Structure 1
Amino acid sequence: MRVMGVDPGLTRCGLSMVVGGTGRQLSMLQVDVVRTPPEMELAQRLLRVADAAEAWMDTHEPEVVAIERVFSQHNVRTAMATAQAGGVIALAAARRQIPVHFHTPSQVKAAVTGNGSADKAQVTAMVTRILGLAVAPKPADAADALALAICHCWRAPMLERMAKAEAMAERQRRMYEERLAQQRKAVIR
């Protein structure tokens, strides 16, 4: 599975490409951080982020894009900017028919470190170890983008099994309701 991990942001947007092999084997193809200056107009900053993400998608052809879900932040402006950056990337993926999955920061931390409240240093250390990198990815946005891709590679099989189980349960519920309706009709006659 080829996963593009995205740590969205306007000032720094982390982009990564990870390939998942058999089991939990992973390898990094590329990681980078797109930067936009704060004094630049918002629309132009979003365009720069979207252009970079689209170039990555066209070059690496990911099977899925994993984006950090904006969960809660104390600074509303930062949360809005993060959500907007994630939104333009999700839109770029949707235009290419690439599935998009959102993961919360605690889901990513738990998947990578085993602790949903791990700090950035722990995440970076585990990303470095998991991917067998000689040097820790910097800045933290790069490590976070890699962590998102790793999280998705490891969570995707479980998410797929859950979706199949939910679909099967829904089919069985409908069949049961149809049988009940038929039995009620038979009793009324």
Structure 2
Amino acid sequence: MGTLVCGIDPGLGTTGYAVLRTGSDGLHVIDAGVCRFDKSLPLEQRLVAIDRDLSCVLEEHRPEVVAVEELYSHYAHPKTAILMGHARGVILLAASKQGIEVRSYAATHIKRHLTGNGRANKAQVQRAVQTALGLLTLPEPPDVADALAIAMCGAADLRQRHQVEATR
């Protein structure tokens, strides 16, 4: 049957999500999409919407693991990291409330896992995801491609952990 892994690309305007099933024959996309939030709403209302929408996705699919991108802070834009921290915190809370394990990955790790290059651009990640999952078209918008990439990292991590546990 396989294990379900949910990858989430946090955002206050658009949050991407993807649910993959692992199997002996590879990874299969079960669901993928975006939750869009009105940027004119106050921050706290967008956070409530993130919790509501992602809680529904998690309740529907019941993944074993939620994989999320770690925060990245650039000295020129510290406010962005602080605001993204709010969205990421709500996502971690939504998963934890449902008893779902959360795994975090640096953006450079995710890109390196898929493309071999930790500094790959959005288009390179989209093409790598398309190829790895055998998709007919590029995953759009890029938030979906990012969520699929994050889920793929979570699935690889989970597969490795299951292999280690099987040898014990």
Q: TM over 0.5: same fold?
A: yes
Q: 1:91 aligns with which of 67, 72, 93?
A: 93
Tell me which amino acid in the other structure corresponds to 2:107. Answer: P
Structure 1: unaligned runs, 5 residues or longer? 164-189
User: Structure 1 residue 77: deviation in Å?
Assistant: 2.3
Conserved? CA contact 1:9–1:81, under 8 Å: no
More strand per residue: 2
Shift, 1:123, TM fit: 0.5
CA distance in 2, matches of 1:83, 1:12: 14
Amino acid of the residue matched to residue 126 of structure 1?
Answer: A
Q: Secondary structure at the match of 2:56?
A: helix
Partner of 2:55: 54
Please, which moves more after superposition, 76-85 or 61-70? Answer: 76-85
> Do structure 1's residue 116 and structure 2's residue 103 form an aligned pair?
no
User: Equivalent residue of 1:100, what SS?
Assistant: strand
Give the letter aligned to residue 80 of structure 2. Answer: T
Q: Which residue of 1 aligns with 2:157?
A: 155
2:27 equivalent to 1:29: no
Say whether 1:66 aligns with 2:92: no
Is the CA contact (8 Å cut-off) linking 1:15 and 1:142 kept in structure 2?
Answer: yes
AA at the equivalent of 1:42: L
Q: Which is richer in helix? A: 1
**1:39 positional shift:** 1.2
In structure 2, the residue matched to 1:185 is: none
Higher alpha-carbon deviation: 58-67 or 76-85: 76-85
Q: CA deviation at 1:128?
A: 0.8
Q: Give the count of matched residue pairs.
A: 165
Report deviation, 1:160.
6.4
Could you tell me how far apart the structure 2 residues matched to 1:156 and 1:116 are? Answer: 21
Q: Deviations over 1:55-109 (max 9, x none)?
A: 0011011111000000223422221222211111110111111000000101101
Please provide the CA RMSD for this pair.
2.1
Residue type of the partner of 2:47? L
In the alignment, the residues of structure 1 paired with residue 161 and residue 124 of structure 2 have an alpha-carbon distance, to the nearest angstrom, of 25
CA contact (8 A) 1:4 1:65 kept: yes
Gaps of 5+ in 2: none
Identity %: 36
TM-score (norm 2): 0.90
Q: How much has 1:162 moved relative to structure 2?
A: 8.0
Distance 2:113 2:42 in 1: 36
- Give me the whole-angstrom Cα distance separating, in 1, the residues matched to 2:46 and 2:127: 30
- Distance apart, 1:158 and its partner CA: 3.8
Q: Which has the larger radius of gyration?
A: 1
The residue type paired with residue 27 of structure 1 is H
